[in-house]
Amino acid sequence: MSRRVTVLVAGVVLLLAFGLVGTFLPVPYVAQVPGPTYNTLGDVDGNPIISIDGRERNDTTGNLNLTTVGVPQRPLTLVGAVQGWFDSEVSVVPRDTVYPPEQTVEETQEQNRQAFLTSEQSANAAALSELGYPEKVVVQTVPEDSPSAGLLEPGDAIESIDGTATPTTEALDAALTAVPAGDDVEVAYTRLGEAGTTTVTSTSSEDRDGALLGVSVLQTPSAPFDVSIRVDDVGGPSAGLMLTLGIIDLVGDTDLTDGAVIAGTGTIDETGAVGPIGGIPLKLVAARDIDAELFLVPADNCAEALASPQPGLTMARVATLDDALTALEVFRDGGTPQPCTAGG
């Protein structure tokens, strides 16, 4: 056998060995891909993503889709990583950036789920504030062993304690501090727009003086209806903006989409400020795949989004909820919303 043939055979053997090993050899990276999108005005498995209790939902005609990034659960191999690096619709990132080494996968998923629940709360507050509903002290949770169990419910707005108005959490705390622990407390509340009263036998705490109702509360906009959100397979805070727009479309006075398929992403806080998120190139691909016509891009993600444009998908720069509502109005009227620029 000639030297040339020997080298060629050895090379082929090494290449096959490399390919075989690379097919099974895990690497400390994960692949991120375009995830599913969810129309916040629609259903998942027959259950509405946004439920309204206490009033009828508006009839809506279009889509307001939140977008996600998927992370396949199977370990990424060397060959898979190399393929991903050459695929514009896959992002290969260090595993530690997705799953911190000090946490299990399950702990990270639970953390992401809690972040999503917080974004639900912020979305609801931002939407109701935009619609003009006043802030009140609203019950958030009522533990089973609470003295208020069966008397107060999540969503109740506490109006007064023993006749003393409680428009703020500070006023509620002051009113309860003035009542000896263990005394009966008359609580006036509003539930789904209807006024009610109840008497709670208060409890005490080593951390403060006075009476306790045994509930958690939040000072937040309150409406004569309750909003609940359910998307089981979504984690993290990036759905906030689209959930906010979904609530406004379902209970407000304006059809935000006018039949169009709108997609977007972005965190939101109670004031309506829209924050940046991760995975914007992949989310643009997900929006393209559902034939979205407009994508709402957080201002701080604009430079990254401009580097990954999708054919036929208009991008609008939004830094606030008002920016998003303005972009939708301009788009409904046939105009071009404020575009992304390299500077944000």
pLDDT in tens, 177-190: 999 999 999 999 99
Q: In the 8-state DSSP scheme, what is residue 77?
A: B
Q: Which of the four pLDDT bands, split at 50, 70 and 90, describes residue 267?
A: very high
Same domain, 284 and 214: no
Beta strands 261-264 and 294-298 are: parallel
Distance (Å) of CA 156 to CA 80, 96, 171, 202, 220: 52, 42, 16, 17, 11
Q: Is residue 261 part of a domain?
A: yes
* Predicted confidence (pLDDT) per residue in 42-97, tens digit: 999 889 999 999 999 999 989 999 999 987 767 766 666 666 566 677 777 677 77
Residue 2 has pLDDT above 70, yes or no: no
Residue 339 domain flag: no
The pLDDT, as a whole number, for residue 245 is: 98
> Is residue 17 situated within a structural domain?
no
Quote the pLDDT of residue 22: 42
The length of the chain, given as a count of residues: 344
Are both 269 and 120 inside the same structural domain? yes
Q: What is the pLDDT of residue 315?
A: 97
Express each pLDDT in 190-228 by its tens digit. 999 999 999 999 998 888 889 999 999 999 999 999 999
Rg (C-alpha) for the chain, rounded Å, is 26
Residue 23, domain member (yes or no): no
Count of structural domains within the chain = 2
d(CA 275, CA 272): 10
Nearest-angstrom CA–CA distance, 13 and 7: 10
Q: What is the DSSP letter of 257?
A: S
Q: Which long-range contacts (CB under 8 A, 24 or more apart) does 108-113 make?
A: 109/235, 112/235, 112/236, 113/235
* pLDDT(161) > 60: yes
- Whole-angstrom distance, CA of residue 58 vs CA of residue 247: 10
Does residue 78 or residue 259 have the better pLDDT?
Answer: 259
Q: Each residue of 106-141: pLDDT tens digit?
A: 887 788 888 888 899 999 999 999 999 999 999 999
Considering the domain architecture, whether residues 323 and 238 belong to the same structural domain is answered as yes
pLDDT digits 0-9 by tens, 3-42:
554 544 444 444 444 444 444 456 677 777 899 999 999 9
What CATH number does the domain containing 39 carry?
3.30.230.10
Domain boundary among 187, 203, 221: 221
Residues in Cβ contact with 192 at an 8 Å cutoff, skipping those fewer than 6 apart:
53, 54, 155, 224, 225, 226
Is there a contact between 261 and 63 (Cβ–Cβ < 8 Å)?
Answer: yes
Model confidence over 234-244: pLDDT tens digits?
888 999 999 99
Print the domain residue range for 54.
Answer: 33-74+112-130+227-332
Residue where a domain stops, chosen among 190, 221, 252: 221
**pLDDT score at 5:** 47
The reported pLDDT for the residue numbered 12 is: 43
C-alpha span between 203 and 237 (Å, rounded)? 35
Tell whether 142 and 210 lie within a shared domain. Answer: yes
Residue 287 · residue 263 · CB < 8 Å: yes
If asked whether residues 242 and 118 sit together in one domain, one would say: yes
Conformational region of residue 206, where left means phi above 0, alpha means psi within -120 to 50, and beta covers everything else: alpha
Looking at the structure, tell me whether residues 67 and 123 fall in a common domain. Answer: yes
